[in-house]
Amino acid sequence: MSFIIDYYNYWIVVFLMMAGFYIVISANNLVKKVVGLNIFQTSVFMMYISIGKVTNGSAPIVAEGITTYSNPLPHVLILTAIVVGVATTAVGLALIVRIKRAYGTVEENEFKDKDDLI
Amino acid sequence: MFEQHLLVLPIVLPLIAAPICILLMKSHLAWVFATIISGLSFFISVDLLFATLEQGVLNYAVGGWESPWGIELRIDAASAIVLSVVTGISTLVLVYAKESIAKEIDSSRHTLFYSAHLLCLTGLSGILITGDAFNLFVFLEISSLSTYTLVSLASDKRCLTAAFRYLVMGTIGATFILIGVGMMYMKTGTLNMLDLANRIAEYDGNRTINTGLAFILVGVSIKLALFPLHMWLPPAYTHAPSAVSAFLASTATKVAVYVMIRFIFTIYGAEYVFFTMDMDIILMVLAIVAIFKCSFMATVQSNIKTVLAYSSVAQIGYMILGISLVSSTGLMAGLLHVFNHALMKGALFMAVGAVFYRIGSVDIKAFQGLGKQMPLTMAAFAIAGLSIIGVPLTAGFVSKWYLVTAAIEQQHWIVAFLVLIGSLLAVVYIGRILEAAYFKKPSELTEGKTIKEAPILMLIPMWILVIANIYFGIDTSLSVTAADTAAQWLTQSIPEPFVSIPSVVTEETIK
Amino acid sequence: MNIWSALEPSLLINLTIIVPLIGAALVVLLGKYPNLRETASILIAIILFTLVLSITDNVFNQVEMATTWVTLLPGLDIAFSVEPLGVVFALVASFLWIITTIYAIGYMRGHNEDNQTRFFCCFALSISTVMAICFSDNLLTLFIFYELLTLSTYPLVTHAGTEDAKRGGRVYLGILLSTSIAFLLFAILGTWVSAGTLQFTPGGVFSDAQSDGLLALLLVLFCYGIGKAALMPFHRWLPAAMVAPTPVSSLLHAVAVVKAGVFSILKVIIYIFGIDNLSEIATTDVMLYIATATVLFSSCVAMTKDNLKARLAYSTVSQLSYIVVGALLASSVAAAGATFHIVTHAVGKITLFFCAGAIMVAAHKKNVSEMAGLGRKMPITMAAFAIGALSIIGLPPMAGTWSKWYLIVGALETDKLIIVAVLTISSLLNVAYLLPIPIKAFFHAIKPNSANQQSTNQPLQPWSWSETKEAPLPSLIAIGITSTACVVLFFYPQPILDLINLIPGVSTSVKGQS
């Protein structure tokens, strides 16, 4: 039991990750795929953020009387990763807009019938 | 040291130039500008290559923050070879692109093409130069994102679905790498590659480290299209504009192979990956299956770009096979093949692009009878094709030679034999195209039309690569020395009995 | 004899490779002037032969000749050096090139072939690669030019451009490339890794420490990897390649290509394994019996073939295996016989092919069954055919006698009586499939309906018995020279035998009983 409680942050991460992954694989709608991809990425961001937490640590701002800080580096890292994630979403959505224009649909099975992608 | 400051230029130059390309508005201005920038990066990289061959490693602390606190840029022989290939091919492709994209990309998007190309170059150079694991992820995504846009620029609408599939797969791969890096950081608290290497050695067999390795290897395998994670590659290369296919096929996957080498040999250490985790056998089996399955797939396609795409996946199998042999000769063969394959695939895709330029199709029917109508293009295709097969006096022979030598040295006789059988499949898929070009009557696509030779701006870069194929097949001193130096340096962590006998035979053994 | 003595000896090797290349360039340049083009071809061929003669002279005077072109990989050069075995092959190939060029002029013009410039150009290219094979100093050089020979002869095989020719060309390229890549390259790499060198060294390169299994495997790989030696079951390319024009078949498939194959096997056995070590390798006997089986089987197949060129092709397969048998017997006399057989079979078989081509040009006949009575119309050709056939069979006073003699002596010396028996039976089979042709031609009456039968096969070429005359003069000259050579080599084999005796480990004198 303590195995579950002690590591609850990882359980959340794993759950989100698998949920996102499942959506990417199973969704037929391309927008839903991008949403799934976002959930998938977000789970990783959460993992990074949660590992930066130090027990009893305060926010990493220098203040008097505080000796334990949480690790700020993962937050900084994940800021970059979020930017990357947003850019990916933007490119993905832009592609979907063009796919909609070219094929008239964003449902994967519908345009798959129209041309045989290798 | 002046070279140390040169180190940052291959990243910064194209990064700054990319937005300027869009501001230039005119297609040909952007072309001239991008080509010059890429050419400059190439000269800097060659300079860096020679510098690393002389001095070993060069490093640069970004912003003056010393490693392991700041982001460190470092370049050794392995990264310098790949960097020279990437920037060199990029320059040639840009020269080639002017005519090629005129036919394949809408004219309003030309400046965007050059901009995305330079961004991709930034990302690829960044991956090669950085000494920081997280930074590597960022550059990987810079290059990947610009690659997705590059693929989607073609006028054929199927490029969109191909690009989307590439985006989904690529993002999953990148996220996997991010997870892996996170797990390493969780345990070690550092992101600098050398620092990581030292600290990982202390956590021998820790579960978090193991899981991190698994995530990273799978993520990188998606990026480098290792069988069976290669499904995104054939559609992407088939439907992308020819100039983009030529650039990606000869650089993007190569850089991913480099990333794999870096993670295995520098960060985790070959001993841990191969002897504790037994990754060598997994990689070896996947590589051999890739060689056979994808070479076979290449023999049955009618779209020539798809043939070349499947051939790329098979050739990546050869590189991974080299890595999985766990010896300096094997790694050297893998690195050498990274270099040589870039030369051949670049030339092949350029030749196919030239055919598309004149005929508007890349079906095998379009190639029928082309030997007489586009003699220079087809001769280039033939020579580069022979290099893929591994005919002596071409670059392909040299890397196959070392690969088989490495396999025999490690007593993997069957693997050695399979590599040679695999090249017979290359005989089939290249032979089919050459037979169509030289021995078949023109098909209905080209019948009765007079087809001119490709424009000179397409022929020059194509033939530079072809000549390089022959040159590096005959005078191997530069490529072999560089690959050997890099491999020796990377395999220091392999324990004694597994380091193969030196590949250079000394005078005494002959006498 | 040594008219090039003013030149640096080592330069001669480069010249033998470069001169035919210059010839190829000249042929292309003079493509529009057939007379000049052909004159250039013959002149170049003669120059090449004199160069090889000078090299021969130097070999007798024990002048060292070697040259290195480039270092391909560390420790591996593209290098050339002269040793007697290569000189024997170079002499044969360069001499017969002159004759074949003369013959080809008559044949190609008589047949009104297209693309004659491409033909003569590729011809010269392939001779250049043959010269490089002759003088190669290590296995890598040999391999490279072996592959180049395959590639440069491919346009010759498919010269006719018909569907048949393409199919033949595909088989030709397919078998030769795949055996060489899958087996030969593998064997070379195995040798490189285990012995550390690919240099041809008298007595072999392997040390005693090599495991027996490895050597056994390598021997099999070499024998099958050198697909040009046409050891069964990889012999199919040779009959397939017979779609080529006859001059190609005669030079390339009686001399250059197939002999490059058996020459490579001899060279590997003498200079990589070492004749003395051969008997200790487990698979030597296996390969030996495969070769003898090839001798027998292909002789039998030859008897069933009605197409004259196909019959000659299977005869070639069988004769090549004689040489392989000689090489594998692990006896110095047998190796000498094998080397000499390269010479005698070359002159004998080329005569036969020349005759087959002459019959095709003059009488438009391809099949043996249609040749009854032809001897009265083409007496010179058929007489030469008889001489060539006798030489292949090995009857005195023809050159083939000597090589068979040494082969059988070698087999006796190693106490392999089965081989002796097979060689004898095979000679009888040779009699059975070769001699009926001249006998039919001279002594049988003309079949009245054969003319009609022919016209249905080839409606485009009207032909009648009454108009049949001898082959074109250049062809006749060529046939005359080679058939004379068959006889001359019987009476004066000594110069060649002297050369063969210079090969380390090979000797025509039988060792005394001990």
Is B426 an interface residue toward C (CB < 8 Å)? no
Give the Cα separation of C291 and C287 in Å (integer): 6
Give A92 to chain B, closest Cα distance, Å: 7
Nearest-by-CA chain A residue for B147: A91
> What single-letter DSSP state applies at residue C255?
I
Would the CB atoms of C178 and B431 count as touching at under 8 Å?
Answer: no
How many CB atoms are closer than 10 A to CB B507? 7
Asked if residue C123 belongs to a domain, the reply is yes
In DSSP notation, C285-298 reads HHHHHHHHHHHHHH
Half-sphere exposure (Cβ direction) of C377: Cα atoms closer than 13 Å:
23
Strand partners, C73: C76
How many CB atoms are closer than 10 A to CB C152? 22
> What single-letter DSSP state applies at residue C70?
E
Q: pLDDT value at position A115? A: 59
User: Mean pLDDT of all residues in chain C?
Assistant: 82
> Cβ distance B352 to B308 under 8 Å?
yes
Check pLDDT > 50 for residue C458: no
Q: How distant, in Å, are the alpha carbons of A7, A11, A23 from that of A47?
A: 11, 10, 20
How many CB atoms are closer than 10 A to CB B61? 16
Give the Cα separation of C10 and C19 in Å (integer): 14
**Chains A/B: 3 or more C-beta pairs closer than 8 A?**
yes
Q: Which domain, by its residues, includes C435?
A: 9-449+470-501
> Cβ distance B119 to B153 under 8 Å?
no
Give the Cα separation of B395 and B373 in Å (integer): 27
Check pLDDT > 60 for residue C456: no
Kindly give the pairing relationship between strand B72-75 and strand C76-81: unpaired
Is A38 an interface residue toward B (CB < 8 Å)? no
Give B71 to chain C, closest Cα distance, Å: 39
Is B235 an interface residue toward A (CB < 8 Å)? yes
Give A64 to chain B, closest Cα distance, Å: 25
> Cβ distance C214 to C194 under 8 Å?
yes
What lies within 8 Å, CB to CB, of C331 at 6+ separation is C275, C410, C411, C413, C414
Question: Sorting pLDDT into bands at 50, 70 and 90, what band is B2?
Answer: low
Give the Cα separation of B330 and C272 in Å (integer): 26
> Do you find a cis peptide bond into C233, omega within 30 degrees of 0?
yes
**Chains contacting A (3 or more CB pairs within 8 Å):** B
Give the Cα separation of B401 and C73 in Å (integer): 10
Kindly give the pairing relationship between strand C66-73 and strand C76-81: antiparallel
What lies within 8 Å, CB to CB, of A113 at 6+ separation is none
In DSSP notation, A102-114 reads HHS--BHHHHHHH
Give the Cα separation of C452 and A62 in Å (integer): 111
The domain segmentation of chain A, as residue ranges, is: 2-114
Q: Which domain, by its residues, includes B373?
A: 294-511
Asked if residue B351 belongs to a domain, the reply is yes
Is C73 an interface residue toward B (CB < 8 Å)? yes
> Cβ distance B397 to B473 under 8 Å?
yes
Nearest-by-CA chain A residue for B69: A73
Give the Cα separation of B147 and A91 in Å (integer): 11
Question: Sorting pLDDT into bands at 50, 70 and 90, what band is C447?
Answer: low
Tokens standing for B58? 């060069």
Would the CB atoms of B168 and A51 count as touching at under 8 Å?
Answer: no
Give the Cα separation of B103 and B98 in Å (integer): 9
Asked if residue C2 belongs to a domain, the reply is no
Give the Cα separation of B123 and B128 in Å (integer): 9
**Chains contacting C (3 or more CB pairs within 8 Å):** B
Asked if residue B89 belongs to a domain, the reply is no
* pLDDT digits 0-9 by tens, C191-243: 888 888 888 888 788 877 677 788 888 888 888 888 888 888 888 888 888 87
**Chains contacting B (3 or more CB pairs within 8 Å):** A, C
Would the CB atoms of B474 and C178 count as touching at under 8 Å?
Answer: no
pTM of the model: 0.86
Tokens standing for C69? 């072109």
Is A69 an interface residue toward B (CB < 8 Å)? no
Q: Look up residue A106 and give its amino acid.
A: V
- Helices vs strands, H then E, count in chain B: 22, 2
Nearest-by-CA chain A residue for B187: A51
Asked if residue C352 belongs to a domain, the reply is yes
Give the Cα separation of A33 and A31 in Å (integer): 5
Question: Taken in order C223, C227, C233, C239, is the CA torsion positive or negative?
Answer: negative
* pLDDT digits 0-9 by tens, A93-114: 999 998 888 888 888 777 766 6
CA distance between the termini of chain A: 48
Residues in chain A where the model's pLDDT stays below 70: 1, 112-118
Closest to C350 measured CA to CA, from C175, C480, C203, C172 = C480
Provide, as residue numbers in chain A, all residues whose Cβ is less than 8 Å from the Cβ of B186.
51
Mean pLDDT across B100-105 = 83
Burial label for B471, CB within 10 Å (0-12, 13-18, 19+), is: middle
Closest to C81 measured CA to CA, from C96, C60, C69, C64 = C64
Is B218 an interface residue toward A (CB < 8 Å)? no
In DSSP notation, B218-259 reads HHHHHHTT-TTS-TTHHHHHHHS-HHHHHHHHHHHHHHHHHH
* pLDDT digits 0-9 by tens, B282-336: 889 999 999 999 999 898 888 899 999 999 999 999 999 998 888 888 888 998 9
Check pLDDT > 50 for residue C460: no
Provide, as residue numbers in chain B, all residues whose Cβ is less than 8 Å from the Cβ of A30.
164
Tokens standing for B225? 């299209």
Mean pLDDT across B263-268 = 85
Would the CB atoms of C178 and B391 count as touching at under 8 Å?
Answer: no
* pLDDT digits 0-9 by tens, C484-508: 888 888 888 888 888 888 888 777 7
Q: pLDDT value at position C452? A: 46
Cα angle for residues A44, A46, A48 (degrees, 5° grid): 75
Would the CB atoms of A37 and B138 count as touching at under 8 Å?
Answer: no
Question: Taken in order B494, B210, B264, B326, is the CA torsion positive or negative?
Answer: positive
Nearest-by-CA chain A residue for B134: A77
CATH of domain A2-114: 1.10.287.3510
User: Mean pLDDT of all residues in chain B?
Assistant: 85
Question: Locate tokens 């025509």: which residue?
Answer: C508
Domain count across chain B? 1
Would the CB atoms of B164 and A92 count as touching at under 8 Å?
Answer: yes
Asked if residue C122 belongs to a domain, the reply is yes
Burial label for C307, CB within 10 Å (0-12, 13-18, 19+), is: middle
Give the Cα separation of A71 and C503 in Å (integer): 80
Asked if residue C465 belongs to a domain, the reply is no
H-helix or E-strand spanning residue C479: helix C473-491
Which of 111-170 (B) contact A at CB < 8 A?
A: 134, 137-138, 141, 145, 148-149, 152, 157-158, 160-165, 167-168
Is A91 an interface residue toward B (CB < 8 Å)? yes
* Predicted ipTM of the assembly: 0.91
Give the Cα separation of C363 and C462 in Å (integer): 11
How many CB atoms are closer than 10 A to CB B509? 12
Provide, as residue numbers in chain A, all residues whose Cβ is less than 8 Å from the Cβ of B185.
51, 74, 77
Give the Cα separation of B465 and C4 in Å (integer): 41
Go through chain A and tell me how many residues it has.
Answer: 118
Check pLDDT > 80 for residue B439: no
* pLDDT digits 0-9 by tens, B127-183: 998 888 888 999 999 999 999 999 988 888 888 888 998 999 999 999 999 999 988
pLDDT cut 70: percent of chain B above it:
94
Is B417 an interface residue toward C (CB < 8 Å)? yes
Question: Locate tokens 């044949």: which residue?
Answer: C107
Check pLDDT > 50 for residue B498: no
Tokens standing for B372? 């007489």
Closest to C331 measured CA to CA, from C265, C226, C237, C409 = C409
Tokens standing for C265? 């096997």
Question: Taken in order C405, C411, C416, C422, is the CA torsion positive or negative?
Answer: negative
CB pairs under 8 A between A and B: 81
Q: State the alpha helices, DSSP H only, in B25-109.
A: 27-55, 77-104
Question: Locate tokens 């001897």: which residue?
Answer: C375
Give the Cα separation of B286 and B226 in Å (integer): 8
Closest to B89 measured CA to CA, from B495, B462, B453, B426 = B462
Asked if residue B39 belongs to a domain, the reply is no
